[in-house]
Amino acid sequence: MLALFDLDGTLADRRAGQHAWSVEFCADHGFDPAEVDWLMAADGNGMVTKEEYFGRVRERYGLARSVDDLWRQYRDRQPTLVPAYEGMLDGLERLRAAGWRIGVVTNGYEDVQTLTLTSSGIAEHVDGWAISAAENVRKPDVRLFEIAAARAGAPLGDGWMVGDNAGADIGGGRAAGLRTAWVHHDRSWPAELDVPDHIVAGAVEVVPLILR
C-alpha cells in the first residue's frame, strides 16, 4: 500500500516559510517591515525563477551583493524555516502504523527540497522521496512517481497521490494509475481537466480517506 505526497503546499507550508524568511530579510537589512508584502508577492508562490526574483530584489533595494550570492544565502536559510502543516506529521505516522508506505514526489532543487524535508521533520515520517533535479525528470512524468515508489519500498499500482498542483500532481498521479486528492488552497478546480477523486482543504484531510 503506497501513498505519495507532494512537498511544498501539501506536506510543507512553503508560504509560511517564505513569510518567515521575508520578515528576517527585512530585519537583517533594516527595511520597512511593510516590504514583506512586496517580497511575498514578487516570489509568486515559488513560481518565479530565483534568478528573476533576486534580480528584482537587488534592483528594488539597491543591493551591492550579486544575484548568485543572494540566491545562495536564501537556499541555505529559507528551507529551514518551512514547517510541516499542522497535524501532518501525526497523520503520516497514522498511515505508517496502518501499514502504508509513504513517499514524497517533488519538483525542485535537490538541496532546497532535501533541507525542507529534514528541517521540517517530514523526512523522519516518510519512507523515501524523489526530487526532480536529482533525478533529471519532473512531474507530471510518471518516471518520477516510479522512483518515489521504489524509494518508499512499494509498487506503484494500488495507491494514492496527494498534491496541490492540478497538472503536475493530479495529472501525473492519474497517469501513474493512482487515486488522487487535490489540495485546493481556496482555488477552483480547472474546468477543462478531469476532476480528481477528492478535493480537500489540506492534505491532513486525506489521511482518514486513505485509512477508510
- Residue 72 and residue 120 in one domain: no
pLDDT in tens, 177-211: 999 999 999 999 999 999 999 999 999 999 999 99
Domain end, chosen from 34, 64, 81, is at 81
Tally of domains within the chain: 2
- DSSP state, residue 190: P
Over residues 44-69, the mean pLDDT reads: 95
Q: Which domain holds residue 24?
A: 14-81
Cell of 136: 533529471
* Angstrom distance (rounded) from CA 116 to CA 59: 28
CA distance 118 to 113: 9
- Verify that 35 and 135 share a domain, yes or no: no
| Stretch 3-24: mean pLDDT | 98
Task: Identify which of 172, 120, 127, 140 has the alpha carbon closest to the alpha carbon of residue 3.
Answer: 127
Share of the chain above pLDDT 90, in %: 97
Q: How confident is the model at residue 24 (pLDDT cuts 50, 70, 90)?
A: very high
Q: Is the pLDDT of residue 174 over 90?
A: yes
| Nearest-angstrom CA–CA distance, 169 and 182 | 8
Same-domain check for residues 46 and 92 = no
**Three cell numbers at 153?**
519500498
Give the pLDDT score at 158: 84
76 and 112 housed in the same domain? no
- Predicted confidence (pLDDT) per residue in 118-156, tens digit: 999 999 999 999 999 999 999 999 999 999 999 999 999
What is d(CA 160, CA 98) in angstroms, rounded to the nearest whole number? Answer: 15
Kindly report the average pLDDT of the chain as a whole number: 97
pLDDT at 143: 98
Alpha-carbon span 36 to 92, nearest angstrom: 32
User: Which of 33, 66, 81 delimits the end of a domain?
Assistant: 81
Distance CA 92, CA 99 (A): 11
Instruction: Report residue 199 as a C-alpha cell.
Output: 478535493
pLDDT at 157 over 90: no
Residue 17 DSSP SS3: helix
Together in a domain, 124 and 189: yes
88-104 pLDDT, tens per residue? 999 999 999 999 999 99
Do 103 and 115 have their domain in common?
yes
Per-residue pLDDT at 108 exceeds 90: yes
Rounded to two decimals, the pTM is 0.95
